[in-house]
């Protein structure tokens, strides 16, 4: 059984729905979403297949724009560590 494109874009669709929900209700959508490496890689793969994303730049910089509004960024080590 082959997967269709809609089954490959669950995370991307969810983020775009979130962006649209904010806009439709008169709020500014988030300008940045920080995700773990595994989620970043999945979102990038989905977005590269569905949209015109500069994959090489996204892989190098570990960020890319989604829906022309929200920047998807990979969580950096220092963001996830707790300091006392």
Give the pLDDT score at 7. Answer: 57
Q: Report pTM.
A: 0.76
pLDDT, one tens digit per residue, over 24-76 is 999 999 999 999 999 999 999 999 888 888 999 999 999 999 888 899 999 98
User: Burial of 79 by CB count in 10 Å (0-12 exposed, 13-18 middle, 19+ buried)?
Assistant: exposed
* pLDDT recorded at residue 30: 93
């Amino acid at each position: 059984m082959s997967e269709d494109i809609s089954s490959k874009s669950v995370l991307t669709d969810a983020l775009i729905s979130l962006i649209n929900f904010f806009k439709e209700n008169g709020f500014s959508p988030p300008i940045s979403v920080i995700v773990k490496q595994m989620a970043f890689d999945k979102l990038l793969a989905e977005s590269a297949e569905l949209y015109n994303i500069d994959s090489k730049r996204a892989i190098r910089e570990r960020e890319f724009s989604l829906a022309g509004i929200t920047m998807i960024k990979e969580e950096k080590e220092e963001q996830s560590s707790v300091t006392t």
